Chain A
Amino acid sequence: MAVATVPRRRRSYRGWQFVGPFMIVFALVFLAPIAYAIYLSLYRNRLIGGNAFVGLDNYTQVLQDSQFWSGVGRVGLFLVVQVPIMLFLALLVALALDSGRLYGKSFFRVSIFLPYAVPAVVAALMWGFIYGSQFGLIGNLNDALGITLPDPLKPSLILASIGNISTWQFVGYNMLIFYSALQVVPKSLYESAAIDGAGQVRIIRSIKLPAIRGALVIATIFSIIGSFQLFNEPAILRNLAPNAITTYFTPNFYAYSLTFSGQQINYSAAVAVVMAVITMIVAYVVQLRGTKDL
């Protein structure tokens, strides 16, 4: 027995030498911040009275915080409405490009992908100008045509307006994922399908969609995480519509406001941890459902 354990031990030690550098970086860059956030969330630092250990108090407070849940509800709604629209559009474009019947294919591909290359902050600023109902594009349209378009920055429309920005920005990115997945499908399958008398719709339904199912699941999970982390657009549009976008508009923006205007770092850490758990659960459920009989 003793003889057998020695070489095994040496081998495992050598293995650690190889993964060691990675593990150190991984621990410092990924694990330490998470551990630190959890540590912070167990304390409460007050202007009067200083820092004190409060156990899970911050978590109980988060779970009862109506502002936090209204933010979660908002990104939930965003997820349910915006993500399907965006993925459907991206799929449509990818199938159109892949069909080979499109004139100027590479031009379309590049121009639809282009918004993704625009930095998110710049995109939000740009759309802010477009949405301006006084002196922005909407305002100009109202003047030129003598009409009154609804103000995209009013409280009832602001979420839809943000959804529009996200869709514009990420259709191209998702399209590229789908399109590259479609490229891998062997052309011979299409030929044999055509010989069997299958039309385009049938080919899409029976060959193309099943073939890119993995890509669909991945794109959906990325979009879920993206929706839950909604931050840039509300943060920037808030300068233009301060009353439509509250400081707790999305959970991420809430965590940001708590930290930077209220110095409630500990509570903010608890919000971040709870939101991370919610995101993980939702993403995991979608992944399980999506890959069930793959």
Chain B
Amino acid sequence: MSRFLKVAAVASAAVLALTACGGGDSSSDASGDGGGATVTDAQVDAALQKGGTLTVWAWEPTLKDVVTKFQEKYPNVKVDLVNAGTGDKQYTALQNAIAAGKGVPDVGQIEYYALPQFAIGKALTNLNPYGAESLKADFNPGPWNSVNSGGGVYGLPMDSGPMALYYNKEVFDKYKIEVPKTWTEYLDAARKLHAADPKAYITNDTGDAGFTTSMIWQAGGKPYQVDGTNVTINFSDAGSQEFVKVWQTLISEKLLAPVSSWSDQWFQGIGNGSIASLATGAWMPANFVTSAPAGKGKWRAAELPQWTAGGTASAENGGSSLAVMDKGANKELAYGFLKYANDGDGVQIRVDGGAFPATSKTLADPKWLSTEFPYFGGQKANEIFAKSAQNVVTGWSYLPFQVYSNSVFNDTAGKAYVSGTTLADGLKAWQDQSAKYGNEQGFTVK
């Protein structure tokens, strides 16, 4: 038996030793690249000509064409495009690879809300030494603001999600409902619709962290203030309260379809008219076409209802960037790919494939603006999206641990949707739970 125990001890000791190495590694190069040597465009070009292999983790479907064209232009570069899952699933894989110190890709797709978490975890390369700051003018202010974190640029914006109101015109016309211009009118429309047809709802909502934060963003709320490791979370500011007032009424009067977004029931509801509108990002049209074909021709896009009559405020919902991983082997080459895909020729390729761009040039392109959407009955919806993109409220920031925070939204604020808890109390519970986690993780959260 003693020998057997020895074997076990050796085996586990080996495992321990391995993990100890992994752990020590990540903290050693903590502030390595902040003041590092600058990399010139010529060096990036040279890397592209010299070639090599790049591993890119992304789920954005139009990147496939970008990679093909990129390899034609730079024949010495071999790009390995891997779909390691969408959103959270990819972040898990990425975080595991970073912790293990092995198998980290050169480039990763990271959504704006998750970017600060990776940046603060020293997982991403600051692109300022590569001259990323000079690209500022090429991008819309909203997405550009989102890739800036703690004085560094940690990715190049790939797409964006300026919000719009999508509505089922057929249903609205049938019950003579005007397209709401303000959220108060939206509330009236919700009442009118549900009274006329008890099976129809103005929209669905079972508690969605991304949607809630976007709505508060549009209302001018700034619940998250981040200054290095000092974080403030406060859902009692004016913007948050304004959202709570309207949404609490929608919940209390049971005017929201109890259907979760992205479920099978949701797409059925979009198709058959029982979910009559959606306020979400400009990336939505492609999903309408593929997953709710029954609604074709019935839906339209409109500007997002306002919190103050006559306003033009908008917010971002979703959107993602490409970032150069700190553990990646060939950073110059990786940056070259980023520039090609998100700032150079790649942009047009992705726009042609149906992606919503983050570059200001595209938003001003008359050809793009006049694109007709068959799903929206030939409406030139890009005009609405472009306007929304320019009116995104500035000054918003996400938490450096937003991925975690969003995951407990339904544990806390979600209670408001299924019990007597009010939304205000729910948000307070969300705030407390997020603050608790932040403090445990070494932040100073107030």
Residues of A in contact with B (beta carbons under 8 Å apart): 16, 23-24, 27-28, 31-32, 35-36, 39-40, 43, 45-51, 129, 132-136, 151, 154-155, 239-244, 246-248, 257, 260-265
Contacts and interface: CB of A to CB of B under 8 A. Distances in A.
Given A27-B11, A46-B442, A257 B264 contact: no
B437 A262 contact: yes
Given A23-B4, A39-B16, A134-B257, A243 B418 contact: yes
**Interface residues on chain B, size class:** 35 or more
B411 interface: yes
B23 A32 contact: no
Given A32-B15, A47-B120, A261-B403, 16 more contacts: A28-B11, A36-B15, A39-B15, A39-B16, A47-B443, A129-B264, A135-B259, A135-B264, A154-B418, A242-B260, A243-B417, A244-B418, A247-B407, A247-B408, A260-B92, A262-B407
B258 A134 contact: yes
Interface centre among A27, A39, A248, A264, by most chain B C-beta atoms within 10 angstroms, is A27
Interface string B424-440: 00000000000001001
Contact of A27 (B8, B27, B99, B437): B8
Nearest to A263: B95
B206 interface: yes
B7 A257 contact: no
B258 A16 contact: no
Contacts of B8: 27, 31-32, 35
Contact of A136 (B265, B403, B442): B265
A134 B265 contact: yes
Nearest to A16: B3
B425 to A, nearest CB: 14
Given A36-B19, A129-B264, A243-B415, A134 B259 contact: yes
Nearest to B414: A243
A246 B121 CA distance: 27
Contacts of A32: 8, 11-12, 15
B15 A50 contact: no
Interface string B240-270: 0000000000000000011110111100110
Given A51-B23, A135-B269, A244-B418, A261 B407 contact: yes
Nearest to B406: A261
A262 B411 CA distance: 14
Contacts of B415: 243
B169 to A, nearest CB: 22
Interface centre among A129, A134, A243, by most chain B C-beta atoms within 10 angstroms, is A243
Contacts of A27: 4, 7-8, 11
A48 B12 CA distance: 28
Contacts of A35: 8, 11-12, 15-16
A247 B410 CA distance: 8
Contacts of B308: none
Contacts of B3: 16
A260 B400 contact: no
Nearest to B7: A27
> A-B pairs with the 4 shortest C-beta distances?
A48-B442, A261-B407, A35-B12, A243-B414
A50 B443 contact: no
Nearest to B417: A243
A49 B411 contact: no
B437 A48 contact: no
A32 B414 CA distance: 39
Contacts of B260: 239-242
11 contacts: A27-B7, A35-B15, A47-B441, A47-B442, A47-B443, A135-B264, A135-B265, A155-B419, A243-B415, A243-B418, A265-B99
Nearest to A46: B442
A243 B412 CA distance: 8
B234 interface: no
A31 B418 contact: no
A24 B7 contact: yes
Contacts of B440: 46, 264
Interface centre among A39, A49, A134, A260, by most chain B C-beta atoms within 10 angstroms, is A134
